[in-house]
Structure 1
């Protein structure tokens, strides 16, 4: 449930802000962000400096420090994002979004722990196509311009490995590229086996 952009019973609606692609949402200890449009990637990094993607969040989703134990935590806009700042008194109004946050975190964790990198990548591509995709002539187009490095961070691999695996999946006809975006062909064999 998105909080209404209008005021309710004389209460002032929390401010809505627009963030440019690749900018960061400011994160504060007692604040959540509810996304109205766009996609945000939450991430942290290891002591060795390796980036770990914690989630991808879209319209209706809620994110912020109170929902994460990761330290440090960063929220990077994958696309242009319109989001509303939520203070603690607003949180009861977004219970459904908070539950979705927990379920999505669990889904991503189970995918990353699914075995070989190729199996993980296939699951993540299918998940991205379902979550952030739209119908296309040849399947489901992931409506994000996600880089090979961002995919690698998401599946816990290297950019080189992900690039090679994407090329292999494309050669085998399981995916194809359309205007710098990936089209997943769920009717083709590995995606049928790895549906979430």
Structure 2
């Protein structure tokens, strides 16, 4: 991995595969590294000079295992297929969120524009090569993970009315807008 972490731990093993020693390396992060890690904090930094891809409501968004999509505008429905080939909702990507087949282990994974969307494609190799970009993506990936866990909790509720209420609360929190 190309990111130079301030803390590295290495374990050495004997011939039988049993851990023998653990070595710790602690580095100081100088101000230039700290500035680089903080540099990508605003949405425009994800765009850079990358083209914006536009999809209309109902369009299927093409997925590539080496690309992560960043949502600039709109709403994207993320689904998979259940045992009986029914569509199963696994997430909603809102502005500021990321998605892509690189971020899932599902064999069938589809992204569909629920509204007109504007997306930025970022190559996985670029993220892996840039400590600042990797650092900026962590909270966005965490946001998707938390949403997925919320969907799991909701799907585990026994009563239909409880599942519906939970889903409505999630939608309110994720995509709701305050109105007068």
Same fold at TM > 0.5? yes
Partner of 1:48: 84
1:171-193 CA distance string (max 9 Å, x none): xxxxxxxxxxxxxxxxxxxxxxx
- Aligned pairs for 1:1-196 within 5 A: 2-4=43-45, 7=48, 13-88=49-124, 89-90=126-127, 92=134, 93-137=136-180
Counterparts of 2:76 and 2:50, CA distance in 1: 19
Q: 1:122 to 1:36 in 2, by over 3 A?
A: same
Cα distance in 2 for residues equivalent to 1:46 and 1:105 = 16
Higher radius of gyration, 1 or 2: 2
The answer as to whether partners of 1:2 and 1:34 remain within 8 angstroms in 2 is no
TM-score (norm. length: structure 2): 0.68
Task: Please say if residues 2 and 94 of structure 1, whose CA atoms lie closer than 8 Å, have aligned partners that are also in contact.
Answer: no
State whether residues 79 and 110 of structure 2, in contact with CA within 8 Å, keep that contact through their aligned partners in structure 1: yes
* 2: CA distance, partners of 1:129 / 1:45: 25
1:154-186 deviation line (CA, Å, top 9, x unaligned): xxxxxxxxxxxxxxxxxxxxxxxxxxxxxxxxx
Q: Provide the alpha-carbon RMSD of the alignment.
A: 1.7
TM-score scaled by length of structure 1: 0.63
Gaps of 5+ in 1: 8-12, 138-196
Aligned residues: 132
Shift >3 Å, 4+ stretches: none
Q: Relative contact order, CA 8 A, sep 6+: which one is greater? A: 2
Please tell me whether the aligned partners of residues 77 and 113 of structure 2 are also in contact (alpha carbons under 8 angstroms).
yes
Unaligned runs of 5+ in 2: 1-41, 128-132
